[in-house]
Amino acid sequence: MLLAVAHRTRYRYAAPVRGVVQSHRLTPAVCDGQEVLEWAIRVAGGTPGGSFRDGAGDLVRGWTVRGPLDEVVVEVAGRVATRDLAGVLRGHRERIPPAAYLRETPATRPDRALAGLAAAAAGGADALAMGHRLAEAVADRIVHRPGSTGPRTSAAEALAQGAGVCQDHAHVLIAAARHAGIPARYVAGYMLAAAGTAEAAHAWAELHVAGLGWVGFDAANRCCPDARYIRLGSGLDAHAAAPIRGIARGGGEETLEVAVAVAAAQQ
């Protein structure tokens, strides 16, 4: 499948700031399931800095924008050819051992309810089958409800209220999998979604299965990532895997506007 992406992020500041420094994980991952045909990242008034590929295999690039300024606009556009590999991440080079993804974070720390969710899905030594059971259980327990949670909502909080967005589905699945001894991580990317069903900026979880490697599970859509998905990068949780992270020098309230469109392009 050929997917075209247009992604625009605008940061507005209530008072002018002296400058902004950002790090981006906005370049699609290098793996067998996707091939970048065209990809451009532009930061209005920005100067690109150094880039490197981190231990998780993600390309990270720095940007600097000098002030004074009251907004920063980041634009991404490109085309990616994708293949359906049944959720299995193949051909992706990374150095971090899977066991490192058993570590808890504040967003994925399990409570009694999350431990119970993991226990209910347990049975046998097949991590792949358990991953599917966990994903189904998370989908059953958390209704997709935009605006019901925020960026700092933890997995335990989302499970307790029974509603959330794709970030919450991923965090709950990760927390339950880690509690069951399965390495799990958060993945940020894009998805070609049916009109009115989900946002094009998307997130899911990857669980490590012996003999297969990393396998993606999208509990929000009750499936494994297929040719509709573009993988950007991964991390222990949403904060670590964020496509854009940065800091502004100066005071003032910051507001964020994001617009993402993913369309099937002609071959």
Q: What are the tens digits of pLDDT across the range 126-183?
A: 899 999 999 999 999 999 999 999 999 999 999 999 999 999 999 999 999 999 999 9
Question: Strands, E, within the chain: which ranges?
Answer: 2-24, 34-43, 46-53, 59-82, 143-144, 163-164, 184-191, 201-209, 213-217, 229-235, 244-249, 254-264
Q: What are the tens digits of pLDDT across the range 39-73?
A: 999 999 999 999 999 999 999 999 999 989 999 99
Q: Which CATH class is domain 84-235?
A: alpha beta
In whole angstroms, give the CA distance from residue 188 to residue 80: 16
Are 59 and 51 contacting, i.e. CB atoms less than 8 angstroms apart?
yes
In whole angstroms, give the CA distance from residue 191 to residue 201: 6
Alpha helices in 88-154 (DSSP H): 112-121, 127-141
pLDDT of residue 74: 97
Chain centroid to CA 95: how far? 19
Q: What are the tens digits of pLDDT across the range 104-139?
A: 999 999 999 999 999 988 876 689 999 999 999 999
Q: What is the CATH number of domain 2-81+244-264?
A: 2.60.40.2250
Choose among 167, 1, 10: nearest CA to 76.
10
In whole angstroms, give the CA distance from residue 186 to residue 235: 5
Instruction: Show the CA angle centred on residue 14, arms to residues 151 and 147, nearest 5°.
Output: 25
> Where along the chain do its domains lie?
2-81+244-264, 84-235
Chain centroid to CA 103: how far? 17
Burial class from Cβ neighbours inside 10 Å (0-12, 13-18, 19+) for residue 147 reads: exposed
Q: What are the tens digits of pLDDT across the range 10-29?
A: 999 999 999 999 999 999 99
